[in-house]
A = this chain, B = another copy of it.
Amino acid sequence: MPISSDSTPTDATTRAALMRAARRLFAHQGYDATSVRQITREAGANLGAVTYHFGSKQALYHAVLEDALAPFASGILAAACSARPPLERAADVVGVYFELLARMPDLPFLLIQEMMARREAPTPITNALRQVSGALGDLVREGQEDGTIRGGDPLLFALSIIAQPVHLSIAAKVLAQVAGVDTHDPETRERLRAHTAAFVQAGLSRRAE
């Protein structure tokens, strides 16, 4: 029985190799500095493979972003919208972020590259950030209504929740060099997660408690 030419094992393998190589290069060099030639060479594919599988470098980039951001957005949304009390959900969000980073260390770099680029961020990024900041804003608003979270702009609180795990993840190399903190060690990661969750909860929490 013939296999359709669109989905031969070789095609799927090449597509996956292109996605992996592109994610690594886009994350560490940025979109502009990464060439199709570099991606295909790293993926062990021929120069036409990006056009054949994705249509263009930009379409490949959007595919990489969607692939990386879907588990990020859905994981954070699930934690932010659970039935637990708002302050516990904030700690859960931090935990989910740490778990995601252990599985996908390129994620924060993809986001940071976009934040540093001097042009509009593409739709997959703005959509994911809108979803995440919306869900975190709702969490904060709910905590302000039930009196567990102090007053203030929910959007800014949402940013402060995210700032902690993002910063710790991008600072990993310098942390190791300056302070000997190895963020790849599971025990250290757990200590960082616990610290970050506690700091975020204290930062949000109504003082009079």
Contact = CB atoms under 8 A, between A and B. Distances in A.
Contacts of A163: 163-164, 166-168
Interface of A is mostly: helix
Interface in A176-209: 177-179, 181, 191-192, 195-196, 198-200, 202-205, 207, 209
A155 interface: yes
Contacts of A181: 155
| Total copies of this chain within the assembly | 2
17 contacts: A29-B33, A112-B112, A113-B116, A115-B172, A117-B173, A156-B192, A156-B199, A159-B171, A160-B164, A160-B195, A160-B196, A166-B167, A200-B203, A202-B202, A202-B204, A202-B205, A202-B207
